[in-house]
Amino acid sequence: MPLIGKSSYRAPSWLRGGHAQTIFPALFRKVPRVTSRRERLELPDGDFLDLEWADQGRERLAILSHGLEAHCGTEYMQGMAAALVANGWDVLVWNFRGCGHKPNRLLRMYHSGATEDLDAVVSHALARHPAAEIDLIGFSLGGNLTLKYLGENPSALSTRLHRAVAFSTPCDLACSSRTLSKFSNKIYMERFLINMRSKIRAKKRLFPEKLDLHGLNLIRTFQQFDDRFTAPIHGFRDAADYWKRNSSRQFIPQITVPTLLVNAENDPFLGPDCYPREEAAASDVFHFEAPEEGGHVGFSPVGGAGEYWSESRAIGFLKEG
């Protein structure tokens, strides 16, 4: 029954509340880039994924997946990569479709359930890297992607997949979307939508007959955006269908790889259905931890500098097996 009752995380005394704990590391943390070797992975559908490696042929490899509108160089990605390298791992980080230096080739982009792309990255790593053990780490949307990948077809996974960790994961997408639509979260919603609207405009230039941008600037919520663009572009009926089919919580009971999910209780992006305590209580391999504080992909250390708690926590869990 791996439901972790009490977390070891304690926020700095000067950094109080979920919003501050979310915003501070996003704005003020600076991490040197660890993943320096770039590679383009061509996909069977004619598109591509851009990868970055920190690799020395070590026995353990970690594959990191970022969050919504993030990328390989986002501070939490490079912070985790640096901690892993310092502890003996090679690291592979990857940009979702449309999140790299160049737009992807196809109309489709990334979305919360695009596990075929994560599978392509894992398969490439299995074929090219000598590691005996491969670990997966996902943040936010990348955490949902990781959990869904592990649970949707567990019998097809390689035996070299060792352990997995997810942080700040909206494992119920409808619940998270409703939560982010609250007035108190307007700053986050608008920041995401600025980038997402820009990408749709870029797609319109590449595929002028495929998209209608009428009213794009009036979109104010994920439901409106996903109804209008995400769902039809990626083959879903509407936002509700997209969220229902891609929420990772429904896949958690099928996970067979030892996995840790950490969602802070004061995460402003997550609602009550994003805390899968029942699934953890019923599982032998799925561990759930809910620190009282930490914000969304926050978990700043006391003092606000150096290795973050999320990095030491992930490494500790990965070393248990």
Could you list the pLDDT tens digit for every one of the 321 residues in the chain?
A: 588 888 999 999 999 999 999 999 999 999 999 999 999 999 999 999 999 999 999 999 999 999 999 999 999 999 999 999 999 999 999 999 999 989 999 999 999 999 999 999 999 999 999 999 999 999 999 999 999 999 999 999 999 999 999 999 999 999 999 999 999 999 999 999 999 999 999 999 999 999 999 999 999 999 999 999 999 999 999 999 999 999 999 999 999 999 999 999 999 999 999 999 999 999 999 999 999 999 999 999 977 668 999 999 999 999 997
- Catalytic one among 50, 117, 172, 267? 267
Residue 178 and residue 140 share a domain: no
Total tally of structural domains belonging to the chain: 2
On whether both 117 and 217 belong to a single domain, the answer is: no
| Residue 77 sits in the same domain as residue 215 | no
Could you list the residue range(s) of the whole structural domain that residue 197 is in? 173-246
| Last residue of one domain, picked from the residues 228, 246, 264 | 246
Annotated catalytic residue, options 140, 168, 248, 283: 140
pLDDT the model gives residue 5:
80
DSSP 8-state code for residue 181 = T
153 and 66 within one domain: yes
Query: The domain that contains 116 carries what CATH number?
Result: 3.40.50.1820
Q: Which residue out of 66, 124, 162, 296 is catalytically annotated? A: 296
**Residues 256, 278 share a domain:** yes
| 205 and 185 together in one domain | yes
d(CA 113, CA 97): 13
Separation CA 75–CA 68 (nearest Å)? 14
User: In which residue are the tokens 């230039």 written?
Assistant: 205
- Rounded CA separation 13/237 (Å): 46
Residue 302 confidence (pLDDT):
77
Q: How many CB atoms lie within 10 A of CB 228?
A: 20
Residues 232 and 94 in one domain: no
Both 227 and 208 in one domain: the answer is yes
End-of-domain residue from the set 246, 262, 297: 246
- Final residue of a structural domain among 211, 230, 246: 246
Question: What's the predicted TM-score (pTM) here?
Answer: 0.96
Please identify which residue in the block is written with the tokens 């196809």.
Answer: 106
112 lies in the same domain as 64: yes
Residue 164 and residue 205: Cα distance in Å, rounded? 39
| pLDDT reported for residue 321 | 77
CA-derived radius of gyration, the chain: 19
Known catalytic membership, residue 267: yes
